[in-house]
């Protein structure tokens, strides 16, 4: 049986590979005021938010060809195949680049998964992949499974301010000014490869109620099959808002008593740089027990 390594990028929010000897992390690069940093290596979460709050120019980037293939080569010295789970192709070009590199030079050795996940739902995919590898599935079977079930996940994110979305050009200055004037807080949705506006609310209580209602509707519609099979879990995420996230966890446990909560995690920095601190997110994802 082939020795299979699971590789993801730091967008998944996994800080420690722990007891998983076959799990590896690619640090994602950021350009901050023209200088390159690497998540969890030369850029801590606290440093990132400090720079963000002081209006630094922050741009997400992707590993270079050499950086990524160096990691692949190092892993392949010990393992036969790699299942690589990068962030969604709809949110970054890093996935498409990795697919091209793998097809050109690593056919049969590196299997790049394009299952359109980010942050806590990407993390859920990584742990699914680990379980499938432990069960003896091949790299191609793991890739096929993760891509076939890619739509079995969704994230709703309450954004406290449009400042950072405006800065990134995702909303107009006029819309941001009106939102500030009327204390409007948008809720965004990530489902598949799209980041879309979902709803607008006036306060965090309304945001929680709206996100809970949205997930309940998803369980009755788009997620009804994995839900009826008992194959879903809930994840809560935030950007420097852990206290509120833990309060939200208690509310979620009451609202969804039959769904396990697997993670209460920070959102990935690649998402955080577009929405800023203070956000709160509710996610559902497939999770094989």
Buried b (16+ CB within 10 A) or exposed e, 184-197: bbbbbbbbbbebee
Domain 153-286 CATH class label: alpha beta
Q: Is the confidence at residue 282, as pLDDT, over 50?
A: yes
Q: Is the confidence at residue 289, as pLDDT, over 60?
A: no
Q: Is the confidence at residue 31, as pLDDT, over 80?
A: yes
Helix and strand element counts for the chain (H, E) = 11, 13
User: Beta-carbon neighbour count of residue 59 at 10 Å?
Assistant: 12
What was the pLDDT predicted at 163?
76
Tell me the range of 93-102, 219-228, 269-278 where mean pLDDT is highest. Answer: 219-228
Q: Is the confidence at residue 274, as pLDDT, over 50?
A: yes
Of 100 and 186, more confident: 100
Q: If you average pLDDT over every residue of the chain, what do you get?
A: 88
- pLDDT tens digit sequence for 130-139: 999 999 999 9
Band (176; pLDDT cuts 50, 70, 90): very low
What was the pLDDT predicted at 6?
98
Arithmetic mean of pLDDT, 183-208:
82
Arithmetic mean of pLDDT, 212-237:
96
Arithmetic mean of pLDDT, 1-15:
92
Band (172; pLDDT cuts 50, 70, 90): very low
Q: Is the confidence at residue 98, as pLDDT, over 80?
A: yes
* Range with lowest mean pLDDT among 11-25, 154-168, 198-212: 154-168
DSSP secondary structure, 23-80, as one string: EEEEPPEEEETTEEEEBTTTB-HHHHHHHHHTT--EEE----HHHHHHHHHHHHTT-S
Q: Where are the alpha helices (DSSP H) in 135-182?
A: 139-148, 163-167, 173-181
Retrieve residue 182's tokens: 């009327």
Arithmetic mean of pLDDT, 243-270:
94
- Fold annotation for 4-28+63-148: Rossmann fold (3.40.50)
Q: Where are the domains of the chain?
A: 4-28+63-148, 153-286
Arithmetic mean of pLDDT, 186-203:
81
What was the pLDDT predicted at 121?
92
Arithmetic mean of pLDDT, 233-243:
94
Band (152; pLDDT cuts 50, 70, 90): very high
Residue percentage of the chain with pLDDT more than 70: 91
What was the pLDDT predicted at 288?
64
What was the pLDDT predicted at 135?
94
Judge if pTM exceeds 0.85: yes
Band (166; pLDDT cuts 50, 70, 90): low
């Amino acid at each position: 049986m082939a020795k299979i390594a699971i590789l993801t990028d730091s967008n998944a929010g996994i800080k420690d590979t722990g007891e998983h000897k076959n799990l590896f992390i690619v640090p994602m690069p950021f350009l901050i005021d023209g200088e390159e940093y690497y998540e969890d290596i030369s850029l801590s979460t606290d440093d990132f938010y400090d720079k963000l709050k002081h209006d630094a120019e922050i741009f997400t980037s992707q590993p270079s060809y050499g950086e990524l293939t160096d990691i692949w080569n190092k892993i392949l010295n010990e393992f036969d195949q790699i299942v690589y789970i990068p962030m969604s192709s709809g949110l970054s070009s890093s996935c498409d680049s990795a697919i091209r590199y793998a097809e050109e030079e690593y056919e049969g050795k590196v299997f790049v998964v394009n299952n359109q996940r980010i942050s806590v739902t990407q993390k859920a995919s990584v742990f699914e992949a680990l379980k499938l590898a432990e069960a003896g599935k091949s790299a191609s079977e793991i890739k096929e499974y993760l891509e076939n079930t890619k739509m079995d996940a969704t994230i709703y994110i309450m954004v406290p301010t449009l400042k950072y979305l405006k800065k990134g050009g995702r909303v107009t200055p006029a819309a941001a000014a009106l939102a500030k004037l009327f204390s409007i807080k948008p809720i965004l949705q990530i489902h598949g490869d799209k980041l879309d506006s979902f709803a607008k609310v006036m306060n965090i209580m309304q945001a929680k109620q709206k996100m809970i209602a949205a997930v309940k509707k998803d369980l009755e519609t788009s997620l009804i099959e994995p839900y009826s099979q008992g194959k879903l879990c809930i994840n809560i995420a935030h950007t420097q808002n852990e206290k509120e996230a833990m309060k939200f966890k208690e509310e979620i446990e009451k609202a969804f008593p039959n769904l396990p909560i697997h993670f209460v995690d920070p959102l990935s920095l690649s998402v955080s740089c577009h929405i800023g601190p203070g956000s709160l997110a509710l996610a559902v994802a497939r999770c094989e027990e």
